[in-house]
């Protein structure tokens, strides 16, 4: 075993730390270890084993958690790539790749110090700290605690308190006196839930020598688990025939016989807790174990999951020629067992999901594994049901609603090879599968694939890299591909597969634009819902058809304004207007969650003329109730949907025809396939066009296309009424004409002129601090450094106040860096971080966002 190991520790450091491998321990590259770091114990991942002694004395690894690496070679390599590409600290990258938080329990332990020993000694010899004004009983308690600690290396704080009756404040005082020290310690528990099972040892009650009895305990964490089924099966079926040399079975008493009978009936194995329900003394089981008739074993409890066996692709799933062609292309590329990128561009309703599932099925049939990534709210109940039907218990569904514990359990299940079809959101790209053949990224343009905290990776791009490292195929699917992916396909980096028609040749919906400026002139009123949209909804209700109305802004009124002094009501933490939420009777900041009561007077001037302006989804729902009092209306946004279950309930109700109208934010636009919806109204989807962000047009085009795609997926053709204040904008025009290529051509020209992605690599560097002067000083210093160093081939814009100048109490200034060379861009960012360190700017106050999606 090499003497040293390099460990990536989850702290904001761009390096690994060298530790000494403890005597006799065997660590592997990719294993998790617990290491001392400053005054903490932290879990880290071993990145290298070597014999190079570091310059400083290396501390020793405290605990090796596993001999089988938690991260495979492939995932280690992927993590290093992420760390390099996104300039993210390697330890933090590995931490987000391993969803095993549940396995770490944190506890605070106390230890006695030299000073503590001295104080205890002094007390014992009759002396005392004379200046103490403490009551005698408090002193007694303190010495009791010291005494308790003196007898052991350390004790958990909770144990110490209950054993000695010491209070938190006395304990804090002892820490101040340096008598004891406290430390937060993490220790590891295996998240895999196990239960004890009793297993019949041999030929139905025949005694066997003790050493043959398989008493299995769970060995190394995450290693392959013993297959009890096999052992039991062999034992039950391979009854010894005639073996006269064996002694005849010993007599069993009736209690013992009861247990043996129960086990035999159950096929040789039962959980101990079930046997305990039999009316026999507890000692009976122990006796049977002692006699070698039964063995006890730990067995992994599987997650509650569908018990359905895989049924394969439903018979009704008949493929049209475009679907078949797409599937054939994917299968061919998968079979080549080398990297292949495929952009699957299929219009809304063209049946992409069916192609994904069929492709995954053939991968599983070949004994390999597949991952399907879906956006945050893309996993609709219908898709989940299909996935269960097709893959049965070989599927693992990973979504944001899981607890840490469930996440860890799924992780182990996947690692054991029990789940080979993985369906999940962003972080499922790190699923510890072996023999990966295919990754599919559904709605690849969706912004929820980008993690907006360290490490700031984009799961689509990570999926592409993972496929490269595994010689697998990656399919990026969308009705509205991102500019980047479309550009890559045009440059032949990806194969482009098109599905231009809806299934069964259903037509794309007709889109009618309503110019809201004209609506205002004709009605003399600022309308939320145009006359045209009202009329179309009324028609649908009469015909018992369903409609959806999109307003991509939640709450009741987005702006509260004083008409006397003109002041807007803003969040105290952010430079953001507070939104009025009527039913919950409060003002809310949608960026930091700050809440305030609804004002009756202006806080600045005291005026009573406080006005509530604008419309959010909550108000839209109320207005629709007013127009259509008979209609059954539901709303889908972050205020009405708090869990996956809420989401499912509303969509199921719509699907079952229990709703006439569904109102909501972009949540209603994503991937639902509801056949009764024949009308989609868009009330405010072009608001984004006013934002100072170069992706505004792309986002608007995508949202309009996605939501329009919800209409007319059944027998009856669909219609879209699109209200807009920008009827001439190309994003609106091309969306109305379902003209993807037209939009992309125009947008690509604009990106090329402005040197924006995909024509250049881009990074957003945000300097933030709760103190404005620090933000100014730091961003100023970095600005001067950028100017002085003048990096060839990299444009630096800024420092400038960020569009949202204050967010979550931080003042924010930013730089935008652009370069045609990814390599040069990252070199400058690295140098900038080194300079920031030299300037003593804390690492957490400089955010580097490579391929930033939002520049706000
Ligand atoms: Zn005022
Ligand atoms: Zn706020």
Question: pLDDT by residue (tens digit) across 6-59?
Answer: 999 999 888 899 999 998 888 899 999 999 998 888 889 999 999 999 998 999
Between 195 and 47, name the one with better pLDDT: 47
What is the 622 CA–ligand 2 centroid distance (Å)?
26
Q: Is the dihedral of CA 218, 223, 226, 227 positive or negative?
A: positive
Q: How many helices (H) and strands (E) does the chain have?
A: 25, 33
Centre of ligand 1 to C-alpha 591, Å, is: 24
Closest ligand to residue 564's CA: 1
pLDDT at 766 > cutoff 80: yes
Distance CA 360, CA 477 (A): 14
Instruction: For residue 455, say if its preceding peptide bond is cis, omega within 30 degrees of 0.
Output: yes
Average confidence (pLDDT) over 693-712: 91
In whole angstroms, what is the distance from residue 472 CA to residue 494 CA?
A: 13
Residue 256 reports pLDDT greater than 60: yes
Q: Tell me, in angstroms, the distance from the centre of ligand 1 to residue 564's CA.
A: 5
State the pLDDT confidence band at 651, using cuts at 50, 70 and 90.
Answer: confident
Residue ranges near ligand 2 (ion) with Cβ within 5 Å: 571, 573-574, 589, 591-592, 594
| CA 435 to ligand 2 center in whole angstroms | 46
pLDDT band at 427 (very low <50, low <70, confident <90, very high): very high
Q: For residue 590, how far is its CA from the centre of ligand 2 (angstroms)?
A: 7
Separation of 644 CA from ligand 2 center, angstroms? Answer: 25
**What is the mean predicted confidence (pLDDT) over 712-733?**
92
- Residue pair 207/294 in contact (Cβ under 8 Å)? The answer is no
Question: 552-574 burial, b for 16+ CB within 10 Å, e for fewer?
Answer: bbbbbbbebbbeeeebebbbebb
Mapped to the 3 state alphabet, what secondary structure does 282-333 carry? Answer: HHHHHHHHHCCCEEEEEEECCCCCCCCCCCCCCCCCCCCHHHHHHHHHHHHH
Band the pLDDT of 98: cuts 50, 70, 90: very high
Output the CA angle 707-709-712, nearest 5 degrees: 120
Three-state DSSP state, 615: coil
* Rounded CA separation 783/770 (Å): 20
Cα-to-centroid distance, 565 and ligand 1 (Å): 4
Ligand closest to the CA atom of residue 804: 2
Token representation of residue 290: 């002692």
Residues 6 or more apart whose CB falls under 8 angstroms from that of 212 comprise 201, 202, 292
Percent of residues, the chain, with pLDDT higher than 70:
89
Read off the pLDDT of each residue in 370-382 and give the average, rounded to a whole number: 84
Helix (H, G, I), strand (E, B) or coil at 347: coil
CA of 770 to the centre of ligand 2 (A): 13
pLDDT at residue 301, rounded to an integer: 61
pLDDT tens per residue, range 538-570: 999 999 999 999 999 999 999 999 999 999 999
Query: Which residues, in sequence order, are CB contacts of 93 under 8 Å at separation 6+?
Result: 8, 79, 82, 83, 455, 457
Please, what is the average pLDDT of the chain? 87
- pLDDT greater than 50 at residue 223: no
Confidence of residue 235 (pLDDT cuts 50, 70, 90): very low
What distance in angstroms lies between residue 592's CA and the mean position of ligand 2's atoms? 4
> What mean pLDDT comes out for the span 385-401?
87
Tokens representing 598 are 């609804």
Higher pLDDT, 595 or 684: 595
pLDDT at 238 over 80: no
pLDDT value of residue 282: 78
- Ligand 2 centroid distance, CA of 83 (Å): 30
pLDDT at residue 611 greater than cutoff 50: yes
Model confidence band, residue 811 (pLDDT cutoffs 50, 70, 90):
very high
Strand segments (E) across 557-710: 559-562, 579-581, 586-588, 595-596, 610-613, 633-636, 661-664, 677-684
Task: Find the range with the poorest average confidence among 299-308, 344-353, 633-642.
Answer: 299-308
> Is the per-residue pLDDT at 213 higher than 50?
no
Q: Return left, alpha or beta for 520; rule: phi > 0 is left, psi -120 to 50 is alpha, else beta.
A: alpha
CA of 587 to the centre of ligand 2 (A): 11
Q: Which ligand lies nearest to the CA atom of residue 809 in the structure?
A: 2
Specify the residue for token string 């924010």: 812
Q: How far is the CA of 135 from the centre of ligand 2 (A)?
A: 48
Distance 579 CA to ligand 1 centre (A): 17
Can you state the angle between helices 157-164 and 168-176, rounded to 10 degrees? 110
**CA-to-CA distance for 509 and 519, rounded, in angstroms?**
23
Task: Please give the average per-residue pLDDT across 60-75, as a whole number.
Answer: 90
Q: What are the pLDDT digits (tens) for 479-526?
A: 999 999 999 999 999 999 999 988 888 888 999 999 999 999 999 888
Cα–Cα distance, 71 to 94 (Å, whole number) = 9
Residue 241 pLDDT:
40
What tokens does 712 get?
């007319």
Whose atoms come closest to the Cα of 566: which ligand?
A: 1
Work out the angle at residue 744's Cα, subtended by the Cα atoms of residues 738 and 748, and round it to the nearest 5 degrees.
165
Maximum distance among all Cα pairs of the chain, rounded to whole angstroms: 106
pLDDT of res. 551: 94
Q: Which of 183-197, 302-316, 634-648 has the lowest mean pLDDT?
A: 302-316
What's the half-sphere exposure (Cβ side, CA atoms, 13 Å) at 115?
9
* Centroid of ligand 1 to alpha carbon of 440 (angstroms): 54
pLDDT above 60 for 236: no
Ligand with smallest separation from the Cα of 561: 1
Contact between residue 748 and residue 540 where contact means Cβ atoms under 8 Å apart: no
Report residue 243's pLDDT band, with 50, 70 and 90 as the boundaries.
very low
Q: How far is the CA of 803 from the centre of ligand 2 (A)?
A: 14
CA of 570 to the centre of ligand 2 (A): 8
Distance (Å) from CA 697 to ligand 2 centroid = 26
- Report CA(10)–ligand 2 centroid distance (Å): 28
Query: Per-residue pLDDT for 734 more than 80?
Result: yes
């Amino acid at each position: 075993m090499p003497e040293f190991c390099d460990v990536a520790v989850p702290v904001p450091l761009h390096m690994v730390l060298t530790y000494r491998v403890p005597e006799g321990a065997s660590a592997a590259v990719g294993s998790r270890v617990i290491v001392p770091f400053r005054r903490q114990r932290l879990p880290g991942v071993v990145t290298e084993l070597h014999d190079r002694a570091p310059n400083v004395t290396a501390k020793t690894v405290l605990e090796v958690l596993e001999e089988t690496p938690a991260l495979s070679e492939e995932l280690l390599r992927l993590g290093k790539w992420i760390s390099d590409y996104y300039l993210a600290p390697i330890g933090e990258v590995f931490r987000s790749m391993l969803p095993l938080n549940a396995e770490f329990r944190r506890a605070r332990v106390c230890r006695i110090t030299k000073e503590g020993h001295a104080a205890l000694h002094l007390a014992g010899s009759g002396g005392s700290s004379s200046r103490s004004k403490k009551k005698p009983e408090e002193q007694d308690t303190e010495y009791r605690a010291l005494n308790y600690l003196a007898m052991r290396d350390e004790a958990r704080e909770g144990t110490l308190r209950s054993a000695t009756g010491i209070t938190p404040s006395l304990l804090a005082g002892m820490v101040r006196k340096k008598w004891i020290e406290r430390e937060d310690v993490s220790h590891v528990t295996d998240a895999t839930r196990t239960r004890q099972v009793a297993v019949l040892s041999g030929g139905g009650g025949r005694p066997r020598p003790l050493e043959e009895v398989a008493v299995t305990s769970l060995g190394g964490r995450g290693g392959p688990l013993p297959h009890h089924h096999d052992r039991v099966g062999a034992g039950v079926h391979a009854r010894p025939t005639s073996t006269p040399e064996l002694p005849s079975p010993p007599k069993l008493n009736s209690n013992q016989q009861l247990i043996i009978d129960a086990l035999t009936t159950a096929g040789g194995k039962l959980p101990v807790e079930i046997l305990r329900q039999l009316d026999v003394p507890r000692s009976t089981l122990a006796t049977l174990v002692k006699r070698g008739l039964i063995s006890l074993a730990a067995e992994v409890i599987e997650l509650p999951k569908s018990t359905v066996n895989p049924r394969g692709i439903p018979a009704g799933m008949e493929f049209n020629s475009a679907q078949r062609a797409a599937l054939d292309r994917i299968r061919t590329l998968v079979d080549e067992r080398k990297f292949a990128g495929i952009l699957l561009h299929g219009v809304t309703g063209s049946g992409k999901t069916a192609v994904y599932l069929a492709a995954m099925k053939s991968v599983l049939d070949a004994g390999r594994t597949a991952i399907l990534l879906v956006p945050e709210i893309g996993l609709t109940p219908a898709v989940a049901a299909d996935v269960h039907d097709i893959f049965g218990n070989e599927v693992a569904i990973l979504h944001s609603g899981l607890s840490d514990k469930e996440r860890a359990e799924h992780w182990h299940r996947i690692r054991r090879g029990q789940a080979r079809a993985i369906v999940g959101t962003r972080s499922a790209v790190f699923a510890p599968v072996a023999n990966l053949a295919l990754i599919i990224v559904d709605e690849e343009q969706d912004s929820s694939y980008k993690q907006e905290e360290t490490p700031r990776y984009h799961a689509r791009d990570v999926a592409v890299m993972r496929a490269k490292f595994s010689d697998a195929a990656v399919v990026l699917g969308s009705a509205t591909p991102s500019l980047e992916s479309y550009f890559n396909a045009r440059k032949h980096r990806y194969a482009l597969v098109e599905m231009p028609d809806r299934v069964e040749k259903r037509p794309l919906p007709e889109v009618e634009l309503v110019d809201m400026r004209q609506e205002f002139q004709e009605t003399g009123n600022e309308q939320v819902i145009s006359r045209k949209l009202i009329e179309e909804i009324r028609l649908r209700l009469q015909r018992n058809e369903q409609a959806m109305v999109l307003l991509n802004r939640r709450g009741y009124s987005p702006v509260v304004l004083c008409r006397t002094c003109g002041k807007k009501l803003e969040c105290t933490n952010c430079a953001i207007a507070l939104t009025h939420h009527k039913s919950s009777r409060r003002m809310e900041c949608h960026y930091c969650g700050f809440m305030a009561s609804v004002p009756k007077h202006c806080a600045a001037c005291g005026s009573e003329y406080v006005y509530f302006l604008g419309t959010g989804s909550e108000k839209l729902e109320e207005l629709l109730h007013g127009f259509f009092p008979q209609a059954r209306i539901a709303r889908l946004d972050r205020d009405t949907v708090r869990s996956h279950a809420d989401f499912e309930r509303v969509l199921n109700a719509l699907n079952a025809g229990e709703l006439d109208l569904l109102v909501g934010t972009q949540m209603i636009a994503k991937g639902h396939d509801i056949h009764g919806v024949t009308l989609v109204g868009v009330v405010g989807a072009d608001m984004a066009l006013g934002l100072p962000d170069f992706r505004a047009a792309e986002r608007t085009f995508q949202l309009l296309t996605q939501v329009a795609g919800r209409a007319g997926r059944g027998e009856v053709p669909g219609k879209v009424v699109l209200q807009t204040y920008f009827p001439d904008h190309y994003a609106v025009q091309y969306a109305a004409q379902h003209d993807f290529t037209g939009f992309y051509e125009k947008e690509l020209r604009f990106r090329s002129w402005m040197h924006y992605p995909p024509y250049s690599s881009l990074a957003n560097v945000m300097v933030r601090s709760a103190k404005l002067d620090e933000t100014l000083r730091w961003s100023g210093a970095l600005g001067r450094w950028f100017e002085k160093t003048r990096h060839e081939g990299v444009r630096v814009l800024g420092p400038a106040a960020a569009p949202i100048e204050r967010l979550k109490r931080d003042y924010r200034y930013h730089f935008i860096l652009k370069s045609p060379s990814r390599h040069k861009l990252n070199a400058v960012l690295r140098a900038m971080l080194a300079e920031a360190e030299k300037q003593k700017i804390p690492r957490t106050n400089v955010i580097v966002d490579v391929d930033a999606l939002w520049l706000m």
